[in-house]
C-alpha cells in the first residue's frame, strides 16, 4: 500500500505549477493539482496574455494616424471597448481549456477548490484531506492597493481587464511594468491618461537610458507623467473621482488604477502552522532548489518573491521536476534573464545595466545610439529608438543590452542567447546586420559614448 496518496501535490495551476506538475508526471510521479480559480494563473487570465492583447489594440490608433504617409486613406474610425473585452474573454476561455487538457493528457489529477496545508505531507481541499510525499506551493501573487482615505475607490489591473466601458479619464498609479503598460493602453485607446509615480523616474531597476527615453516618448504622445508624487486621498461624487495629490493638486478621473505592487497569495494556506517560514511580505522563503524550511514543501513563482516573470516560474517548475523526480538536482538559473515592457514604445533588456556593471567592479565601455526608425521617415511621427550596449573593457564581453523602440522584446530575445554564450563586442561587430532593420544597429555601433 502506498504511503501517500500522491508523490506531488501542487497548489496553484498557473504557469509554474502546471509545468512542474506535468513534467513530474512525465517522470513517473503521481501528481495532483488544486486550483480554486481559473486555470493558467495570473499570466493567462489577468496578466501577460490579456495585457498583450490590449497593447495590440492600443497600437491601432497610431497605425491609423501613420497611414497617410504611405498613401492610405481610411474612413471614420470607431473603437468598441466592449467588443475588445468580449473577444479577449473568448481567447482566455480557450486558453483555460488548453491548460485543462495539458494536465489531463499528462495524467495529472485536477482538483478544483481551495487547498490548505495541514502538515508536512497533508493538504485539505474544501475539508477533504490528501497526503503527498512533496507539496508544491505555486499560488502566485495578487495586486494590492495601499490603505489611505478613499483607497476603496481605486481598482487594480485585475478589474481593468473587465471594465464595462473605456473610461474617458484615467489615473494610473505606479511605475513598474504594469503601470507603464496600462498607461500606454488607456492612452492608445483614447483615454486622457495621467501616470503618477512616487520616485524620480519610473521603471526602477532598469537601465537609466531606458527610463529616460521612455519617459520622453510617453510625454511626446500626450501622457501626463507626474513623478515625485502620490495620491493623498480620493473622493467620489457620483461617477466622478477626485484625487488629491501630496503636492495639493487635484485631478479628476473616471477610473484610478493602482499598480503599486503585488502580494504573495499565501494567507489562508496554513503554511506557517505547518512550519514554513514566510518573509515579511508574505513570500515563501526558499533555498536555491526552491525548498522551503520544511523539507517536503517547495514553492516556486511569484509567491517566492524572486523574479516575478512567467518564464522564470516555468523554469523554476522544470528545475523542481528534475530535482524531485528525474534524479537531476537543478537550480533555476537567473543569469541574463531577458525581459520586455510592453509600453508605448516597448522596452527590452537583458544583462547588467550600466549602474549594475559599475557597482560590480567592471570598467565599462558604453555604446549608445538613438535614431528615428525608418518607418517614421514617411509618417512624420516624432519617435526615437534607443539602443545601448554595456561592455567590459578588460574582456570585451557584452554585459548588457538595452532598447526602447518597436519590437524591443522580439529583438532582445535573440540578444539574450548571445549574452549567455559569452559574446564579445568584437563578435557583435563581426556579425552581419539585416538591412534595413532596427535590429542591425546592435551590430553596427562602433563609437563609444564619452564619459
Q: Is residue 377 domain-resident?
A: yes
The answer on 122 and 19 residing in a single domain is: yes
Cell numbers that stand for 115 in this block: 487547498
DSSP H or E segment with residue 401: strand 398-404
User: For position 203, which CATH number holds?
Assistant: 3.50.50.60
The last residue of a domain, from among 236, 260, 284: 260
Whether residue 26 sits in one domain with residue 122? yes
Whole-angstrom distance, CA of residue 107 vs CA of residue 21: 10
What does the alpha-carbon distance between residue 413 and residue 373 come to, in Å, rounded to a whole number? 20
The domain that holds 388 is classified in CATH as 3.30.390.30
Q: What is the DSSP letter of 322?
A: H
pLDDT at 80: 97
> Between the CA atoms of 58, 62, 63 and 67, what dihedral angle is there, to the nearest 10 degrees?
160
Binned average pLDDT, 10 residues per bin, the chain of 451 residues: 89 97 98 96 96 98 95 94 98 97 97 96 95 98 95 97 97 97 98 97 98 98 97 96 95 97 93 95 96 98 94 98 98 96 98 98 97 96 97 98 98 98 98 97 94 65
pTM for this structure? 0.95
Active site residue 435: yes
Determine the pLDDT at residue 305.
Answer: 85
Question: Using CA atoms, how far apart are residues 191 and 77, in angstroms rounded to an integer?
Answer: 15
Under 8 Å CB-to-CB from 423, ≥6 apart: which residues? Answer: 397, 398
End position of a domain, from candidates 244, 260, 276: 260
Same domain, yes or no: 167 and 126 = no
Task: Determine which one of 59, 187, 402, 435 is catalytic.
Answer: 435
DSSP 8-state symbol, 267: T
- Domain containing 37 equals 6-143+263-325
Statement to judge: residues 52 and 129 lie in one domain: yes
Q: What pLDDT score does 159 carry?
A: 97
Q: Where are the alpha helices (DSSP H) in 121-176?
A: 157-160
Clarify whether residues 12 and 135 are in a common domain.
yes
The residue ranges of DSSP E strands in 229-309, in sequence order, are: 231-237, 240-245, 250-253, 255-258, 262-264, 297-299
Asked whether residue 63 falls in the same domain as residue 44, the answer is yes
Predicted local distance difference test score (pLDDT) of residue 451: 65
Sign of the CA dihedral 152, 155, 158, 161?
Answer: positive
Residues 294 and 348 grouped into a single domain: no
Q: In the chain, how many domains are there?
A: 3
Q: Does 332 fall in a domain?
A: no
Residues facing 78 on adjacent strands: none
Decide if 406 is inside a domain: yes
* Same-domain pairing of 383 and 293: no
**Residue 331 is assigned to a structural domain of this protein:** no
Residues 186, 105: one domain?
no
Q: What is the pLDDT of residue 1?
A: 43
User: Same domain, yes or no, for 15 and 131?
Assistant: yes
Question: Has residue 334 been placed in a domain?
Answer: no
Question: CB–CB of 138/299 below 8 Å?
Answer: yes
**Starting at the edge strand that comes first in sequence, how are the strands of the sheet with 240-245 ordered?**
231-237, 240-245, 250-253
Assigned C-alpha cell, 374: 525608418
Amino acid at each position: 500500500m502506498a504511503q501517500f496518496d500522491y508523490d506531488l501535490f501542487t497548489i496553484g495551476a498557473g504557469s509554474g505549477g502546471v509545468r512542474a506538475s506535468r513534467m513530474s508526471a512525465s517522470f513517473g510521479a503521481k501528481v495532483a493539482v488544486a486550483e480554486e480559480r481559473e486555470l493558467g494563473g495570473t499570466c493567462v487570465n489577468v496578466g501577460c496574455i490579456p495585457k498583450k492583447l490590449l497593447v495590440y489594440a492600443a497600437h491601432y490608433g497610431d497605425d491609423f494616424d501613420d497611414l497617410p504617409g504611405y498613401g492610405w486613406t481610411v474612413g471614420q474610425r470607431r473603437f468598441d471597448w466592449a467588443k475588445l473585452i468580449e473577444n479577449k474573454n473568448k481567447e482566455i476561455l480557450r486558453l483555460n481549456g488548453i491548460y485543462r487538457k495539458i494536465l489531463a493528457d499528462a495524467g495529472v489529477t485536477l482538483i478544483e477548490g481551495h487547498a490548505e496545508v495541514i502538515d508536512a505531507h497533508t493538504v485539505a481541499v474544501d475539508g477533504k484531506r490528501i497526503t503527498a510525499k512533496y507539496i508544491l506551493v505555486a499560488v502566485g501573487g495578487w495586486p494590492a492597493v495601499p490603505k489611505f482615505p478613499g483607497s476603496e475607490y481605486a481598482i487594480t489591473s485585475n478589474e481593468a481587464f473587465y471594465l464595462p466601458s473605456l473610461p474617458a479619464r484615467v489615473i494610473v498609479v505606479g511605475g513598474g511594468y504594469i503601470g507603464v503598460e496600462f498607461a500606454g493602453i488607456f492612452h492608445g485607446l483614447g483615454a486622457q491618461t495621467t501616470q503618477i509615480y512616487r520616485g524620480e523616474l519610473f521603471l526602477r531597476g532598469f537601465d537609466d537610458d531606458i527610463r529616460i527615453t521612455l519617459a520622453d516618448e510617453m510625454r511626446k504622445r500626450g501622457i501626463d507623467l507626474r513623478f515625485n508624487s502620490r495620491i493623498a486621498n480620493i473622493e467620489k461624487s457620483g461617477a466622478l473621482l477626485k484625487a488629491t495629490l501630496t503636492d495639493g493638486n487635484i485631478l479628476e478621473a473616471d477610473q484610478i488604477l493602482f499598480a503599486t505592487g503585488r502580494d504573495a497569495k499565501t494567507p489562508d494556506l496554513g503554511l506557517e502552522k505547518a512550519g514554513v517560514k514566510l518573509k515579511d511580505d508574505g513570500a515563501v522563503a526558499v533555498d536555491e532548489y526552491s525548498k522551503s524550511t520544511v523539507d517536503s514543501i517547495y514553492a516556486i513563482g511569484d509567491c517566492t518573491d524572486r523574479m516575478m516573470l512567467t518564464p522564470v516560474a516555468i523554469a523554476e517548475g522544470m528545475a523542481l521536476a528534475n530535482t524531485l523526480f528525474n534524479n537531476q538536482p537543478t537550480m533555476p538559473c537567473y543569469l541574463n534573464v531577458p525581459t520586455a515592457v510592453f509600453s508605448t514604445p516597448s522596452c527590452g533588456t537583458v544583462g547588467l545595466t550600466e549602474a549594475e556593471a559599475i557597482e560590480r567592479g567592471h570598467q565599462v565601455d558604453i555604446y549608445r545610439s538613438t535614431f528615428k526608425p525608418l518607418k517614421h521617415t514617411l509618417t512624420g511621427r516624432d519617435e526615437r529608438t534607443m539602443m545601448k550596449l554595456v561592455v567590459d573593457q578588460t574582456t570585451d564581453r557584452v554585459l548588457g543590452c538595452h532598447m526602447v523602440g518597436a519590437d524591443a522584446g522580439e529583438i532582445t530575445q535573440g540578444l539574450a542567447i548571445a549574452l549567455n554564450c559569452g559574446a564579445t563586442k568584437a563578435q557583435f561587430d563581426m556579425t552581419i546586420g539585416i538591412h534595413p532593420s532596427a535590429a542591425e544597429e546592435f551590430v553596427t555601433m562602433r563609437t563609444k559614448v564619452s564619459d
